[in-house]
Amino acid sequence: MTLLATIVLSVALWWPGGGIAQSDVPPLPPPFCGELSAVDCQLLTDAQELMSGVSSMNMALALDANFSGIPAIADEALTFGLNLDMIMHLDPTLNETMRTFAMRSPEELLATMDEFSALLVEFYKTLGISMEMEMALPGLLREAIAADGGVDLPERIAMNVRMVDGYAYIDMDALAASFPDLRASLEAEGIDGWVGVDLAGQMEREMRGSVVAPDISTLQAMQMSMAFNQLMTDATVRNLLDPYIVVERLADEERNGAPVAVFRTTLALGDLVSKPDFTRLLRQAADAMVAAAGEEVDAQELGAGILGAQLLANMLARAAEFEIVQTVGLAAPYTYDNNIFMQLDLSGLLTLMAMSGEEIPAELRGARPLFTFDMNVSYSDFDAAPAVEAPENVEILPLDSMNGSDLDVIS
């Protein structure tokens, strides 16, 4: 259940706006506004509040990540791509409760496992998702997996998934189109089309004690995935970052015939890493990660790690680019787009390796590796997304035929 629980919590945290503020939950931190006018800052604040209450929408995401500048390796061998179209329905109030649990420590989660499990069951039953996803895997990664585990992955993997009334459905025909060997196995077993699994029912069975509850390491893994989100809501961290975040309003545009304001946010990374504030920020980030991991860390080793991270950051910041472009409706302040771009010149990493006496691989000698990350997310049909329905002619896998490993495979 580790993978499944992480996916469910991730869906909750993906929701734009951050969740509805409840009386027993600390209010959401305000958006970074830099030197924007009070009117523009209020528009961003209104967008955050409005999006937190959205119960359904369409989301389209396109992500490209790439390493280049390594002469011995073709650029396409180091390129990852992800495209997905998703319809989402959820209860905003329940979503915020999920978020509150995700912000707890692993020990607190373990102590409230019955309550958390009941919440997951309810979340499964109310969550509606229809997702079509396609991934393009880097050639170098596929070669490494094939060499290490003897598994040949295709260049592209397509999946169609739905979540309705606590059931998860997977289009096996779409998946088999990416894996010819899987198609042969499915045909041999007489399986085609959609298959479904009662995830809410499985969780309820766990609550009755027929399946061992997740141990602390499972919860630690989940908590680690939330650590960065927690860090960015910390008031001290936000105060450290605020002077180095530049927010500007660009020329207005239109989305679906409606006027939208366009905001561009950049991080003055070069200025940040050269200031003492950055050491404090690294320390807080390290402390958050250590707390999430729940492990003892030697103070000297931690200090050395922070010093190394600061040195590397100074090298990387010289040619780093980072920006977020967000569009917000003027008539109704929905967020229509969130586009994130980051570029890092990793030559400094090779320099640091040489300085530390490590041998640089032959293919990296003289290279100037450049990492780019470009993610574009658009939202539409706010509170009016099409209903997500269970597929027809689906084969439901009975609970008695499943165990934990089956669920991880299906997920």
| Stretch among 83-92, 157-166, 274-283 having the lowest mean pLDDT | 274-283
E strand spans, 29-78: 56-68
pLDDT at residue 404 tops 50: no
E strand spans, 35-180: 56-68, 79-89, 128-136, 156-164, 167-171
| Per-residue pLDDT at 406 | 39
Percent with pLDDT over 70 in the chain: 79
pLDDT in tens, 97-132: 877 776 666 667 667 777 877 887 888 889 999 999
Cross-strand partners of 63 = 82, 375
Q: Which domains, ranges and CATH numbers included, belong to the chain?
A: 2-410 (2.50.20.20)
Up-side HSE of residue 276: CA atoms within 13 Å toward CB?
Answer: 0
Summarize the confidence of residues 40-62 as an average pLDDT. Answer: 94
- pTM across the whole model: 0.81
pLDDT at residue 22 tops 50: no
Alpha-carbon span 378 to 63, nearest angstrom: 12
| Per-residue pLDDT at 219 | 54
Residue 276 phi/psi, 5-degree rounding, is -60, -25
